[in-house]
């Protein structure tokens, strides 16, 4: 299969899987309003088909497909990176007072959501674009990051935006841009570690930060309220830790390394 055909399969597959999730999300199903149910749906709609797409397209076994997606390495390494990066959040959390975390949010937004998003946008899209699609790593990172950011437009209430432009549109685009930068970071981490698990671990604990502090600081008042700029500083510190550890503990993988033996 030519690199162009491989890249087309990656892009089309991601588009179809994301659209399927979005369409199901538009259905008036009460259960899907629960965060845990949304996380389970992402696993079913994104993770399982991603493994099938890679296996069928590249004629790989189940183990080979998981390896192509970056899922065959040790998950503990990835979550250890996430915990290390989460130290600023864990320090600030008791200072501001523990915001209530519900089991549904922990399962859906903190655990399952990041896993599914990394498999779709970094495993199926980024890794396959540079391994099979012939794109250089930086270009593949950029493509996956931009699509990751644009995908979050699905969370926007455009009727509200229409009625309050430009007051609402500017924050929306800022959020999309910030999400794209996060996607670029996750892709770089996945590339350096040559594994999806460090990106999953980092994404998991970054989502924990959003759950704890919200978008502009914590929702509830604790002994000391953490202002919005301090919440941002905490997250930036987490990013700095993840970048430093990744840079020191990994060697850049060869972009031209084949994923399968030449005899195949």
Q: Is residue 254 domain-resident?
A: no
pTM (whole model) above 0.75: yes
Q: How far apart are CA 107 and CA 207, in angstroms?
A: 11
pLDDT tens for 94-111 read: 776 656 778 898 999 999
Read off φ and ψ for residue 192, nearest 5 degrees: -65, -40
CB 241 within 8 A of CB 84: yes
Q: Is residue 255 domain-resident?
A: no
B/e letters for 133-171, b = 16+ CB within 10 Å, e = fewer, are bebebeebbbbbbebbbebbeeebeeeebeeeeeebeee
Quote the pLDDT of residue 198.
98
Q: Is residue 258 domain-resident?
A: no
Q: What is the extent of the structural domain holding 161?
A: 3-249
Q: Is residue 261 domain-resident?
A: no
Quote the pLDDT of residue 25.
85
pLDDT tens for 209-242 read: 888 776 544 444 444 445 556 677 888 999 999 9
Number of domains forming the structure of the chain: 1
Mention every residue, 6+ apart, whose C-beta is less than 8 A from residue 10. Answer: 124, 125, 128, 129, 132, 133
Q: How far apart are CA 117 and CA 16, in angstroms?
A: 14
CB 111 within 8 A of CB 204: yes
Query: What does the DSSP assignment read for 46-66?
Result: IIHHHHHHHHHHTT--HHHHH
Could you give the 3-state DSSP secondary structure of residue 230?
A: helix
Residues of the chain short of pLDDT 70, as ranges, are 96-99, 154-174, 214-230, 252-264
């Amino acid at each position: 299969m030519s690199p162009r055909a491989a890249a087309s399969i990656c892009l089309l597959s991601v588009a179809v899987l994301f659209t399927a999730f979005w369409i199901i999300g538009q259905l008036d199903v009460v259960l899907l309003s629960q965060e845990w149910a949304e996380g389970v749906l992402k696993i079913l709609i994104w993770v399982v088909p991603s493994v099938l797409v890679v296996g069928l397209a590249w004629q790989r076994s189940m183990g080979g497909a998981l390896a192509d997606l970056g899922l065959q390495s040790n998950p503990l390494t990835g979550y250890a990176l996430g915990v290390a990066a989460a130290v600023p959040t864990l320090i600030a959390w008791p200072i501001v007072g523990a915001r209530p975390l519900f089991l549904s949010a922990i399962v859906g937004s903190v655990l399952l959501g990041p896993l599914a998003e990394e498999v779709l946008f970094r495993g199926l899209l980024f890794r396959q674009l540079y391994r099979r699609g012939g794109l250089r790593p930086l270009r593949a990172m950029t493509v996956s990051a931009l699509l990751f950011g644009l995908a979050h437009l699905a969370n926007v209430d455009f009727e509200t935006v229409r009625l309050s432009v430009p007051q609402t549109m500017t924050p929306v685009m800022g959020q999309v841009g910030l999400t794209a930068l996060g996607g670029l970071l996750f892709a770089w981490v996945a590339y350096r570690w040559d594994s999806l698990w460090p990106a999953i671990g980092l994404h998991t604990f970054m989502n924990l930060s959003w759950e704890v502090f919200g978008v502009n600081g914590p929702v509830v008042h604790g002994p000391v309220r953490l202002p919005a700029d301090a919440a941002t500083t905490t997250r930036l510190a987490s990013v700095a830790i993840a970048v430093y550890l990744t840079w020191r503990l990994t060697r850049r993988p060869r972009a031209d390394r084949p994923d399968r033996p030449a005899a195949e």
